Amino acid sequence: MSDETAALFQSKLELLERQCKRLRREAWLWRFGTIVALGAVGALVWSMNRTPSLPSEVQFATVRTRDFSLVDGSGLDRARLRVTPEGLTMFTMNSTAGKGRVMLASTEDGGGLFLMDKSDSVRLLVGVTPDGPKVELLTAANKQTALLTTNPKGGFLALANTSGTQQVFAGLSDNEKAEAGFGLRDIRGRNRANLGLDANERLQLSLRDSATEMSLLAGWNFETDKGPTILLLDESGEIRGALGLVRQPTTGRLVPVLRFNDEKGTAVFSKP
């Protein structure tokens, strides 16, 4: 082999070695780039699938807003505190379907608590009005079945049937005498029975017929000289019979008396 041939062979061998080194470096860089790319893709997929973490606690000195909501995982409002365009301050709590179940509202004159059923009907109302506090129980058809309220003289309770007709009453009248009483009405709302104390704390019982005319009146001391008395009245309100105790002016003792009158009020029987 001549010197020229050997030199040419040597130069080609060196060139081949340099090319092999370059290819090895490129192959390493390609493998490294592939690993980095796969890692980036994996990190991206993981970040897309993971649940975003929320801070365990956030503190603010003051929060000022007109509308504040609490939402569940589906984004539905479960609780809401807001000021309406009409100026009402309202707090509502909703069901899992986003339906209102509890509402608390305030106005210039008072406020109220409303509880709703699954049909969105208000079934319980607790409120304060310019006339005083009250509690109402309602049917699904918005008929009032119970009312507890106050008047200037005291408390008052009324119970009604499912049609909303009040049939039971108990409380204090709002007149000057503030008489305490209990009343019963029929299904048409007609007054049929009353038991109460008048302003002089005399107990009285009255029963009425279907035409709401007084039929029987019983009580203590209808007059100052009498004891307990039962009066029977006709449809015109005239006394037709009386049974009671009358105090004798001479002895001061109570003596039983029985009397029956005709239509003109004349006694047809009297004992004694």
Each of the 272 residues of the chain gets a pLDDT tens digit; together they read 445 545 544 555 555 555 555 545 555 545 545 554 555 555 555 555 555 555 677 788 888 888 899 988 888 889 999 998 888 899 999 998 888 999 999 988 889 999 999 989 999 999 998 888 999 999 999 999 999 998 877 889 999 999 999 999 999 877 766 678 999 999 998 899 999 987 777 888 989 888 767 788 888 765 565 678 898 988 888 889 999 888 787 887 888 889 999 988 888 988 87
Whether the CB-CB separation of 208 and 215 falls below 8 Å is answered with yes
* The two structure tokens encoding residue 174: 């709002």
DSSP letter string, 209-224: -TT--EEEEEEE-SST
Name the DSSP letter for residue 187: T
| Alpha-carbon span 190 to 31, nearest angstrom | 98
Name the DSSP letter for residue 140: T
At residue 62, the pLDDT reads: 86
C-alpha distances (whole Å) from 163 to each of 144, 156, 166 are 8, 20, 9
At residue 184, the pLDDT reads: 94
| Alpha-carbon span 82 to 88, nearest angstrom | 8
> Cα-flanking dihedrals φ and ψ of residue 45, to 5°?
-65, -40
